Amino acid sequence: MNTQIENPREVKVEMPARIRMMQDAKINSISLAQMIDPLTQSEICRIEERLTEMQKALSLATRFIEEFESYKKVVKDLAAEVGILHKTTIFRGTTRRNPVLVVSAVASAFGIYPKQIMSRARPQHIAIARMVAMYIIRVKLGSTLQQTGEFFKKDHGTVLHAYNTIKKLMSEECPKESILGMGRKAFASKVKAIAEQFKDAAL
């Protein structure tokens, strides 16, 4: 029996079909995505769609967080406007004796914000409004110089100076003809009108 052995150099090795596809793709500049079988391609499409959905969800979540932070700031500002006393235990008592009401009334009358009165800002219109608030709290709420100073985070000497200044500006003997762009009498009437809202507060 004759066994013919082929020359090893002439033996052809059959390459797997997928390797041939990759070689052909390289030669013909075909993208890898075009070689992937339809099932795998479908899976990739589904993954890409899911990633797109997740990106949209993340974008919405980020926007929600940003809006929530802005709302939180607004709430904090409102709390600062109407809840100044929440930060202190001074002036416990009835609502009518609440000095924050005086601050709010003065701020409204002078066209500024309560937080400006409670701040350390020194422009004349704010400083005078602050002194008016101190004056009314001292006179109408019956608060001591020390209590009033603690509320405004000032020493009692500052409160005494504010009291004397407003009292002098309201006096007919005041040499100033104009206070914050209004006549002395108009200024005095404004302060009295604000104080009138708290006429029974000290009772």
pLDDT of residue 65: 82
What is the Cα–Cα distance from 155 to 146, expressed in whole angstroms? Answer: 7
For residues 187 and 165, the answer to whether their CB atoms sit within 8 Å is no
Q: Give mean pLDDT, residues 104-109.
A: 92
**Lowest mean pLDDT, pick from 7-11, 57-61, 141-145:** 7-11
pLDDT of residue 89: 40
pLDDT in tens, 19-51: 555 555 554 545 555 555 555 767 778 888 888
pLDDT in tens, 85-95: 444 444 444 44
pLDDT at 82 over 90: no
pLDDT of residue 31: 53
Coil, strand or helix at 182: strand
- In order, the DSSP letters of 26-83 are HHHT--HHHHS-HHHHHHHHHHHHHHHHHHHHHHHHHHHHHHHHHHHHHHHHHHHHH-
Instruction: Write down the pTM of the prediction.
Output: 0.53
What is the Cα–Cα distance from 86 to 188, expressed in whole angstroms? Answer: 31
pLDDT in tens, 112-167: 999 999 999 989 999 999 999 999 999 999 899 999 999 999 999 999 999 999 99
pLDDT at 7 over 70: no
Handedness of CA 14, 19, 21, 26 (dihedral sign): negative
For residues 106 and 194, the answer to whether their CB atoms sit within 8 Å is yes
